[in-house]
Amino acid sequence: MKKFAVRGLIILLVVVGVCLFFGRTVQTVTTAKARFTYPDRGRMVTNSVLEGKVFYPEEREVIINLAQKYPIVINAIYFGVGNKVEKGDVIFDAYINDSEKRKSDLSDDLIKITAELLDLDAKNAKYPTSTQKNDAYNKLLETNDALIKAKTAENTRARIEGVEANPKAWEAQQKEFDKANSLYKQLNRYGSSTNDEGFEYVKKRDELLKQMDIKEKEITDLDYAVLQLSEIKAEEDGIITSLEIKAGEDYNGSKALYKLSPAKNPPVLRAFVQELDELPSDGSKAKVKSDWGSYSVGLKGTGKDKEGQRYADFELTQELIDANSGLKAMMNLEKIQLTLTKRATQASTLIPASALRQNGDETFVYIAKWTDGGIMSSYYVCEKLNVTVLGKNDDQVAISEEIMSQVIDREDRAISEKARIMENK
């Protein structure tokens, strides 16, 4: 009898074991499996890939105004785009195309005027070369010119500003003219010590002297222009950003000869950051790759351009320029890739990016909640937890909530709140 009891107990245990085995097997087959992960605590690090280009914050057009009066031909160019220049460096060799002919013509004119003056003096040797009446006449012409200039300047100003001209602006010149006019009329009324022939002689002589002064000044100006325009030099330290002319071409001062970025405001790598949630902060750094390695560049500033697009400017180091075969080569690149690394200022809860879920406006995670109900009824269930996202990268998401449970990630089938879940180890 005892033997039958033991045998029956063994059979019962075997049956129970088989039931447990098949029960677990069915549960394993029908229950979703996922990876369980404990969240980390730390500061989020994000890497953003940006596209940039060489940009000049300040670019000046250099126009040679003297060439408007004395057009030149560019003979040689000694610096190219992207080259650094120092104040006084000769950038262009040039010449005034007809300078010799112009000087010859001016010299001939001066000789003719001089000969005419000598002939006039010889024919009028009996008259003095200066009289009170002639001096008064010259003064009248001088004060009249000054009055006209003052009136013109005031009328122009008033027209631009849309107001009435103020007569006080030429009051002083009017007084000088009235004074000179009164003296000249007085001398004409009462006569002078010189007859009309003498007056006309002195008047003609003064005109010839003025013509001589004009021609002498034109010759001096031409000599100065030949000297100044033979070598066109850099007016300040900087980088040539554009050449608007080629060797052998004419230049007349109607446009910029070249463009220069002043040394005090050097070029930068400008990246547009419209896709970033927020602008990079002070101290941010980015990496730029080249054939010679990776180079770190610091943030110089952020802002918006004229079109309202947000940008971030990064330093353009000489090391990076050299690694890319010079500044001109970098300027020719359509885009330069930068990787911006950002570390959050405060610690947060970090979860795998694949564990974050969204349904409409809801952002949440599932956590594994253990239910202990004995051998056959102990299991994990999915518990929904709404979260606030602080930041994300390709691998992780930073959230503000602290989570002590394991986060459910990468399940093998669709799951929902309160559904059973098993850990896929």
Q: Are residues 250 and 237 in the same domain?
A: yes
CA–CA distance, 52 with 272 (Å, rounded to integer): 7
Task: Classify 264 as helix, strand or coil.
Answer: coil
Helices 132-161 and 196-230: crossing angle, nearest 10°? Answer: 50
Is the same domain home to 111 and 147?
A: yes
What confidence score (pLDDT) does residue 388 get?
92
Do 108 and 140 share a domain, yes or no?
Answer: yes
85 in helix, strand or coil?
Answer: strand
Identify the pLDDT of residue 58: 93
End-of-domain residue from the set 309, 343, 377: 343
Mean pLDDT for 65-84 is 95
pLDDT of residue 257: 97
- pLDDT at residue 78, as a whole number: 96
Least-confidence region, from 16-25, 84-93, 126-135, 410-419: 16-25
pLDDT per position as a tens digit, 51-69: 889 999 999 999 999 999 9
**Closest CA relative to residue 344, chosen from 277, 294, 275, 272:** 277
Instruction: For residue 386, tell me if it sits in a domain.
Output: yes
Q: CATH number, domain at 234?
A: 2.40.50.100
Which residues make Cβ contacts (< 8 Å) with residue 13, sequence separation at least 6? none
Range of the domain at 172: 103-212
Q: Tell me: the pLDDT tens digits for 187-198?
A: 666 555 545 677
Give the CA radius of gyration of the chain: 46
314 with 365, same domain?
Answer: no
* Predicted pLDDT of residue 341: 80
Q: What sign does the CA torsion over 80, 81, 82, 88 have?
A: positive
In-domain check, residue 284: yes
Higher confidence at residue 14 or residue 216?
Answer: 216
pLDDT at 379: 84
Q: 149 with 169: CB under 8 angstroms? A: no
Residue 15, in any domain of the structure: no
- CATH no. for residue 357? 2.40.420.20
**Cα distances (Å, whole numbers) of residue 365 to 352, 370, 385:** 10, 16, 5
Confidence grade of residue 231 (pLDDT, cut at 50, 70, 90): very high
Chain centre distance of CA 198 = 69
Q: Dihedrals φ, ψ of 202, to 5°?
A: -65, -40
In DSSP terms, 42 is beta-bridged to 348
Say whether both 274 and 333 belong to one domain.
yes
Is 154 within a domain?
Answer: yes
129-135 average pLDDT score: 68
Asked if 109 and 77 sit in the same domain, the reply is no
User: Domain check: are 189 and 107 in the same one?
Assistant: yes
Q: pLDDT higher for 278 or 406? A: 406
In eight-state DSSP terms, residue 419 is: -
Per-residue pLDDT band for 21 (boundaries 50, 70, 90) equals very low
Mean pLDDT of 128-155: 74
Residue 36: HSE in the Cβ half-sphere, 13 Å Cα cutoff: 19
Give the model confidence (pLDDT) of 333-388 as tens digits: 888 888 888 777 788 899 898 889 988 889 999 988 988 765 556 788 999 999 99
Tell me the pLDDT tens digit for each residue of 247-258: 999 999 999 999
Quote the pTM value.
0.59
Task: Please give the span between the terminal C-alpha atoms of the chain, in angstroms, as a whole number.
Answer: 48
Residue 77: the pLDDT is 97
With bands split at pLDDT 50, 70 and 90, how would you rate the model's confidence at 80? very high
Residue 197 tokens, joined? 């022939």
On whether residue 8 sits in a domain, the answer given is no
- Residue 222 DSSP code: H
Q: Which of 343, 359, 380 is the last residue of a domain?
A: 343
Mean pLDDT of 75-80: 96
- Rounded to 5 degrees, φ, ψ at 18 are -65, -40
Instruction: Tell me the pLDDT tens digit for each residue of 271-303.
Output: 888 888 777 877 788 888 887 788 888 889 898
pLDDT value for 26: 45
Answer whether residue 74 shows pLDDT above 60: yes
7 part of a folded domain: no
115 contacts 182 by C-beta, under 8 angstroms: no
Residues 141, 182 within the same domain: yes
Q: Are residue 186 and residue 239 in the same domain, yes or no?
A: no
CATH code of the domain covering residue 316: 2.40.30.170
Q: What is the pLDDT of residue 413?
A: 83
Whether residues 208 and 107 fall in one domain: yes
- Mean per-residue pLDDT of the chain: 83
Instruction: Report the pLDDT value the prediction gives residue 69, as an integer from 0 to 100.
Output: 93
Domain-embedded: residue 122 = yes
Residues 158 and 203 in one domain: yes
Can you give the pLDDT at residue 5?
Answer: 62
Q: How far is CA 150 from the centre of its chain?
A: 42
pLDDT value for 326: 87
Is a pLDDT exceeding 80 seen at residue 135? no
Q: Which pLDDT score is estimated for 22? A: 44
Inform me whether the pLDDT recorded for 241 exceeds 90: yes
Q: How many domains does the chain have?
A: 4
For residue 205, being part of any structural domain is answered with: yes
CA distances for 135 relative to 132, 202, 203, angstroms:
5, 9, 9
Of 343, 364, 392, the position where a domain reaches its end is 343
Same domain (yes/no): 40, 51: no
Which pair of tokens denotes residue 81?
């785009």
- Min mean pLDDT across 169-173, 253-257, 278-282, 308-312 is at 278-282
Give Cα 108 distance to the centre of its chain: 53
CA dist list (Å): 57 to 181, 216, 258, 286, 366? 58, 46, 17, 19, 50
